[in-house]
Structure 1
Amino acid sequence: MENIFIRGPSLNSRLLLAVVLSVFLIVLDYRFKTFSGVRIYLNSMVVPLQYMANMPSEAMNWLSRSLASKQRLLEENAELTHQATLLSEERLRYQFLKKENDRLRILLGSPVREDARKMVAELMAVDSNPYSHQIVIDKGAAHGVYQGQAVLDEHGIVGQVLQVASTNSRILLISDLTHATPSRIQRNDVRVIASGSGALSELVIEHVAHSTDIRVGDVLVSSGLGNVFPEGYPVATITSVVRDESRPFASIRAEPAARLDRLKYLLLLWPSDAPTQPVLGDGQQESLPDDTAVDVSIDNKKAGGR
C-alpha cells in the first residue's frame, strides 16, 4: 500500500536551499543589477498594500490632529475676536483724543479723560417686529448691565440698553424711530440730534437751520449730553444735505457708523459714574429673576437723553 503523503526533503534541507538561493540572487543583483527593473514592478504592487495597512493608524492620527487643530482655532478665534473688539473701542477713543489734542496742543496741561470699563457681549436674537429695531444680547444684571447703558460695536455707537433681565438684555438701536442721539460735527463742533429713521442704514438729522455749516462727508460723534453715550464715539456720516428754503429746516440724512445689519459682538461701556459695576463671573452680584425685566418708558419721547 502506497503512502498517501509523499515525504520530500527535510525542513533543514529546504532552509539551506532557500538561504543559498537567496545569497546567490543577492550577489547576482548587486553585481549585475539584474532585478532592478523587476524591483520597480514589485514595489508598485506592494505600495497599495502598504497604504491599506497604514490606513487605520493614519486615519486616527489625522482625526486627532484635526480635532485638536479645530479646537485650538476656535479658542484662538474667540480670543482674537474679544481682543479686536476691545482694541477697536480703544482706537475710536484715541482718534477722538488725538483730534482734540491737535486743537488744544497749546494747552499741554489739559486733563485726559478717564477710560471707561468695558465688556464684550454677543448677539442672541433680533426683534422680528419690522417697526421696532431691537436686539437681545447675552449679558444681563448678573454681569452688571444697567438700564440706559451705552452699547457699541467696533465701528461706533449701536444703541442703549432698554430692558435688563438676569442673564440677557434688550438693546434699542439708534436707528429705531423712538431713539435720538445727541451728537456734534467732528469738524466744527456744531451740535445736532441724530434720530432714527426706521431704516438700519439711515439716520435723520432734525431741526438744523439752513445756514448751519454741515456738509456731506462730515462725521458725527457723540456729544456726551444726556449722560447716556460717552463723548467722542462715532455715530454717523452725513450722506445728504438738502436746503429747501420753502421748509423751515434743512433735510439731512446720515449713515450710521455701526453696522446695524450685521451685528455679532458688541461692547458694553461702564463710565466712571455708572450705577453698577461690571461683573465678569456669575454669582458675584445679586441678579434679578430670569423673567424679570426693567422697562424704559419712552412715552412718545425720543430715547437717548436729548
Structure 2
Amino acid sequence: MNVMFARGPSLFSRLLMALVISLGLIFVDHKFDGFASIKVYLNSLVSPLQYIAGLPSQILSNSAERFISHQDLLEENARLTLQSVNMSEKLQRFELLKAENDRLRTLLGSPIAAPTRKMVTELMAVENNPFSLQIVIDKGAIHGVFEGQTVLDEMGVVGQIMEVGTTNSRVLLLADITHAIPVRIARNNVRLIANGSGQIDELLLEHVPHSTDLQVGDVLVSSGLGDVFPEGYPTATITSIVRDESRPFAQVTATPIAQLDRLRYLLLLWPENAPTKPIFQNDSQRGGDDL
C-alpha cells in the first residue's frame, strides 16, 4: 500500500548531513584548492546579477548628474582647469627629479625602476559582511587582472585583488583583519608591518620595540618587500603611540591614507613580472600612464 505522506529524515538529520558535507567541502578547498576553477565560474555567473543590482543606483546617479546646474558645471570646469595647471607644474618637476634619480641610481649601480602598466576601474559593490572589508570592481580576467594585484585610489594603497572572475574581481581592503602589508617610515626608512584591524579607518603596527624611532604624523609608504605591493606608495599615517613599559612592545595605530569608506574610481597596477597583461586597454591607459 502506498503511503500518501511518507516521512523522510528528520530536520536535525538533514541539518547534520548538510553541516558534514559543508565541512568536507571547506576542508578539500582549503587543503587542495580543488574549487579554484569553480570559484571563477561562480563569480562569472554572479557578475550579471551584480550589474543588475547596481543598475538602479547607476540610473539614479546619472539622473542626478543631469540636473546639475550650468553654473555648477562652469565652476567645476574652472576648478579642474586650475588643478590641471598645478598638476602640470608638479609633473614637470617630477620628470626632472626622476631623471636625476635615474642618473644617481646608475652611478650607484642600483637598478632603475621599470615602468608600471595601469588601468582605471570602478567600484561595483561593497561587501555587506561587517566582519569582512571587501569590495567588487568592474575589471576581471579578460582585462588581465590577477590575484594579489595592487589596487590604489588617488590618495594611496587601497588593498589587493583577492578573487578574479571573468568580468569583475573582489578586492581585499587594507584594513581587513586578515590583511597585512610591509611598510617603511618615509622619514627614516624604519621597516614595519601594518596589519588590518577590522575597522575601516585603523591599521595596527604590531611587534614594534619601544626604542623604535617613530612619531605621530609619520607617513608610512609601501616598502616593496614580499613582491606584492610596489615600493613607495603612500599607505598610512601614524596616529597613536603608547609606550607602556609593562608590555613587551609599543602599541601603535595608523590611519589609511586611501579613503576606504568613499571609494569609486580605482587604479590597477601591472608590474613587469605580472602573470598576465590587460587584454582590453584604451589609448588613454596605455603609454601616457607609465611611470
Alpha-carbon distance between aligned partners in 2 of 1:279 and 1:105, rounded to the nearest angstrom = 33
Percent of aligned pairs with the same amino acid: 67
- 1:133 maps to a residue whose letter is L
Alpha-carbon distance between aligned partners in 2 of 1:176 and 1:111, rounded to the nearest angstrom = 33
Partner of 2:143: 143
Partner of 2:202: 202
Partner of 2:278: 278
Structure 1 or 2, whichever has the larger Rg, is 1
- 1:269 maps to a residue whose letter is L
Contact 2:105 2:112 in 1 (8 A): no
- 2:132 maps to a residue whose letter is S
Where structure 1 has 5 or more consecutive residues not aligned to the other structure, the ranges are 1-65, 283-306
1:279 Cα deviation (Å)?
A: 1.9
- Higher mean C-alpha deviation, range 271-280 or range 164-173: 271-280
Partner of 1:160: 160
Partner of 1:181: 181
Q: Secondary structure at the match of 1:159?
A: strand
1:101 Cα deviation (Å)?
A: 4.3
1:109 Cα deviation (Å)?
A: 6.9
- 2:216 maps to a residue whose letter is V
Alpha-carbon distance between aligned partners in 2 of 1:206 and 1:115, rounded to the nearest angstrom = 33
1:144-177 deviations in whole A, cap 9, x for unaligned?
0001100000100000000000000000001000
1:110 Cα deviation (Å)?
A: 5.1
Partner of 1:227: 227
For residues 209-248 of structure 1, what are the structure 2 equivalents within 5 Å? Answer: 209-248=209-248
Alpha-carbon distance between aligned partners in 2 of 1:187 and 1:268, rounded to the nearest angstrom = 27
* Higher-helix-fraction structure: 2
Contact 1:182 1:222 in 2 (8 A): yes
Alpha-carbon distance between aligned partners in 2 of 1:259 and 1:266, rounded to the nearest angstrom = 11
- 1:180 maps to a residue whose letter is A
1:106 Cα deviation (Å)?
A: 11
Partner of 1:51: none
1:118-157 deviations in whole A, cap 9, x for unaligned?
0000000000000000000000001000011000001000
Alpha-carbon distance between aligned partners in 2 of 1:110 and 1:232, rounded to the nearest angstrom = 16
Residues paired across the two proteins, number: 200
- 1:128 maps to a residue whose letter is N
Contact 2:141 2:168 in 1 (8 A): yes
Partner of 2:261: 261
Alpha-carbon distance between aligned partners in 1 of 2:187 and 2:280, rounded to the nearest angstrom = 38
Partner of 1:117: 117
Alpha-carbon distance between aligned partners in 2 of 1:184 and 1:116, rounded to the nearest angstrom = 21
1:83-108 deviations in whole A, cap 9, x for unaligned?
x9xx89x97xx59x76x949x69957
Q: Secondary structure at the match of 1:189?
A: coil
Q: Secondary structure at the match of 1:199?
A: coil
- 1:219 maps to a residue whose letter is V
Contact 1:242 1:251 in 2 (8 A): yes
Q: What is the TM-score normalised by the length of structure 1?
A: 0.59
1:112 Cα deviation (Å)?
A: 3.1
1:227 Cα deviation (Å)?
A: 1.0
Contact 1:149 1:269 in 2 (8 A): yes
Contact 2:133 2:175 in 1 (8 A): yes
Partner of 2:169: 169
Q: What is the TM-score normalised by the length of structure 2?
A: 0.62
Alpha-carbon distance between aligned partners in 2 of 1:137 and 1:229, rounded to the nearest angstrom = 19
Q: Secondary structure at the match of 1:273?
A: coil
